[in-house]
Structure 1
């Protein structure tokens, strides 16, 4: 009660001041105060992970494989050194991620489910398009849409104005209650029914209440990212990089804290024991050690390398004198993410589990332009918050020594909807009954067994008025804001430089027929978008948008 009274007092004082001043800094300060006092956050604690049997339930080669799914956040395609050389003209390498790729299969044309994280994660968990689940947009914390729109309006970036629907925003459920419906069947539920011990660590972003938290969606236990600082802002071991040119970054620094929760969704918060990427890796290794004698599924949803940009001092120093400062901090974050992959693979080796463990690494969407680093998605065009290749082309690699030969390369277009049916098949489980799965099992491509029978011509993406189809090598993007079409032949133009929409009207018409049929079979969105942000396709947020530059409005 005292906190509420104090907050109201501060609000009244601020309201009297901001009438004659620029409101944003004061409103952000007020938001930061409110967020800091919103939840009680306890001290670090030991996590009581379930313990497997002391003796193996069956010899390793006679039981289903362990499965470790690692999902990075906002990692640029070029940030992986085996793909594009690595950040800072190749100075920042990712040797452990590279080794994972070399030891198994790499899919050279792999796609996220969407240009933002939450729909992609829903597709990873269910194998289903948003047209079936209704989970089409990424839920954002309370106050984010109006605050980002306000900050954008006060910046002289040259971009068109943001769009924001206040009435719709206030009519939606709160952030914690926007998620994947409980009736959807997740891969965790499938594997749990197959006798797996199931564990979630890190980001979820598919709901925290009303049956939508990970421990209510098939995971036996969940160590959940309850807020999103990697370390407290003033921690003596952290190096921060704030982006004064990015409205999203300004909001996140004001809104976020340093907290996890355990099997409680949005409640019972406590501080992590160290830098978030390293802490979650420590706990992942604890799970591996405790469950070495039975099949387990570990979903590690890393926050790295999403903003706010925070690296440990050790990683910041290790990457060397990289300019500008934000790139050096970002490089340190990549180093910690790569180290995590290496440590998890080493833990599997040490436990004697590596041969019969399927390890998958992917990313939720392309790297964002709003961090102001122009080369992170090279050679592809576009960013997160778009569905150009830079926004949806992501790494997908799988290692399973018992089944997949090292150095395998698969060139067929694949996507996040394929992960769920692939894991189902690997575990020897049946597909869910009375549920349409849009994805396909990738194991024939990875193992070369049945590869000749594997076929798919068409993939879809949708985010409100922004719709995309890839049919064979042709890709059509359609938006209402601006009213425009982009048509590319990806076999000849994988970087989407030559728009053929005007010169290939018959091809546009054929692909529009596919898009319209997909839309006609879609269910309505569960949580319609309350804002639309203009996104420059070819420039970062740090660069000024000029007349004639191409852009899209991203609904969310």
Structure 2
């Protein structure tokens, strides 16, 4: 009896001491799927001869890429120690939008805006679906109790895979597929995996889906990992993610198999195969890379080539950017081999700004803010339109993710079959100059008009007003000394929101995000008095 009692007491003590880790282990076990060996993808092949000369489109979306990570938009990662020559090439010989904006400060709603050309306030797709259990995990492991969980939302929202973009929304794949284009998706989707929400139900005839989130198995001899001990997101991802892909998946969790090699290179190689298979018919390829999102994993050969970067985390991150730049090189090579470079538009962007939880100080420089905020660092993104033979041009008027789909429609000479909020970026420069741009993520709202930017937050109750014409890095808040401008912009914002659609799903958490310091700095030094922050709802 004493032995049993001692055992129960010891077990109780272990549970008391390690209950957070036990919870995470439970979440991990219940979230895993079976992954088989790699399967060769046989892409559908087009006709032997080309009879349709309409342009092709490759929409290339990076994940969490900071505006300063590219040497064509900033100084480059690690103060320029890693150039990005291939991305620079399309930026410098194509049409470079140097003042472009993400749909929001986090991935899924931005991606919905890219594929539909519509604001989140038009579709209701306002928050990013989080894997089941992630919200609770972030709350448990977040420093300083900086994550608040909405228990009611966790109970009432559909499970992660079912929080998708409604099927009635028309994507650029729907539109171009109906017009006779072959439409292919490779990589991240994050717009639902349930019936009517997966890529094959949203206009894509073929889809190589990022099923989980590892770039290589953790112990693979060709990988170098960087762990972020200060970051609760990183803890969850390392525990939960698998090395997996799926082809034309229509049922949740079916047909998972291992990719072939480092994930960024695998997607690039498969994209080249898609180009070869479709060289004789017009195609749309949506190449949505996972790089450079966490968990941070680099190909060892890329890591070894960057010995000039001392910090391990920064070096792994830079190596991931190197692979992303190599992806553009591979796409360009294949277009040249197939003779398609002068008839294929490459559209390059990122879903949002760089993440502060990486702990890397200058990825969004010189702008304030990070992913998970609507300050410029969170929503300023690269945007490039490239095709061989066009006149190089830099455009300074504000562009946005909502403009990508309408511009593609115009280039394909296809009138959109639905209402879009974006514009054709090549049709009317005065329209881009005169319009207002809007953002809403829960209680955080922004309007930009004529270079003035008003940001409103309910938690904490704050107003920020910046004149981006004179102060593009948002250093001087003018909200208290220019009440007339605040009132004017509030009127414009409220008019936009008057007929907006309510969010499809509730926000399940709020996270406290510093605007001017990385999460690593906050963890090491604590919160500063009067520090600018936002509570990011998701």
State the TM-score, normalized to the length of structure 1: 0.92
Aligned to 1:169: 154
* Aligned pair partner of 1:222 in 168, 190, 207: 207
Q: Secondary structure at the match of 2:186?
A: strand
Contact kept? 2:397, 2:432, Cα under 8 Å: no
In structure 2, the CA distance between the partners of 1:55 and 1:211, relative to structure 1 (3 Å rule), is: same
Aligned to 1:5: none
CA distance in 1, matches of 2:188, 2:281: 25
Aligned to 1:508: 486
* Aligned pair partner of 2:302 in 296, 315, 324: 315
Structure 2's unaligned 5+ residue stretches are 1-7
CA distance in 2, matches of 1:82, 1:103: 11
1:405 partnered with 2:383: no
In structure 2, the CA distance between the partners of 1:319 and 1:210, relative to structure 1 (3 Å rule), is: same
Aligned to 2:63: 73
| Post-superposition offset of 1:211 | 0.4
CA distance in 2, matches of 1:290, 1:281: 14
CA deviation profile, 1:302-358 (whole Å, cap 9, x unmatched): 000000000011011011242321111101100000000111011101110000111
CA deviation profile, 1:368-408 (whole Å, cap 9, x unmatched): 00000010001111000000000000000111235x312x0
Listed as ranges, the matches of 1:49-198 within 5 Å are: 49-58=43-52, 63-152=53-142, 155-156=143-144, 161-198=146-183
1:424 partnered with 2:409: yes
Contact kept? 2:465, 2:479, Cα under 8 Å: yes
Aligned to 1:339: 326
In structure 2, the CA distance between the partners of 1:412 and 1:15, relative to structure 1 (3 Å rule), is: farther
Q: Secondary structure at the match of 2:346?
A: strand
CA distance in 2, matches of 1:375, 1:194: 44
| Post-superposition offset of 1:514 | 1.4
* Aligned pair partner of 2:22 in 12, 20, 26: 26
Structure 1's unaligned 5+ residue stretches are 1-11, 445-449
Aligned to 1:4: none
In structure 2, the CA distance between the partners of 1:532 and 1:423, relative to structure 1 (3 Å rule), is: same
Contact kept? 1:202, 1:224, Cα under 8 Å: yes
Aligned to 2:5: none
1:549 partnered with 2:531: yes
Aligned to 2:282: 295
1:240 partnered with 2:225: yes
1:280 partnered with 2:267: yes
Q: Secondary structure at the match of 2:72?
A: helix
* Aligned pair partner of 1:371 in 329, 351, 358: 358
Contact kept? 2:398, 2:432, Cα under 8 Å: no
| Post-superposition offset of 1:453 | 6.5
In structure 2, the CA distance between the partners of 1:259 and 1:542, relative to structure 1 (3 Å rule), is: same
1:251 partnered with 2:242: no
CA deviation profile, 1:68-111 (whole Å, cap 9, x unmatched): 01000000100001111111111011000000101111011100
State the TM-score, normalized to the length of structure 2: 0.95
| Coordinate RMSD, CA, aligned | 1.6
CA deviation profile, 1:271-300 (whole Å, cap 9, x unmatched): 101110000000000000111111111000
How many pairs align?
Answer: 525
Moved over 6 A (4+): 12-15
Q: Secondary structure at the match of 1:394?
A: strand
CA distance in 1, matches of 2:21, 2:71: 39
Listed as ranges, the matches of 1:479-498 within 5 Å are: 479-498=457-476
In structure 2, the CA distance between the partners of 1:18 and 1:467, relative to structure 1 (3 Å rule), is: farther
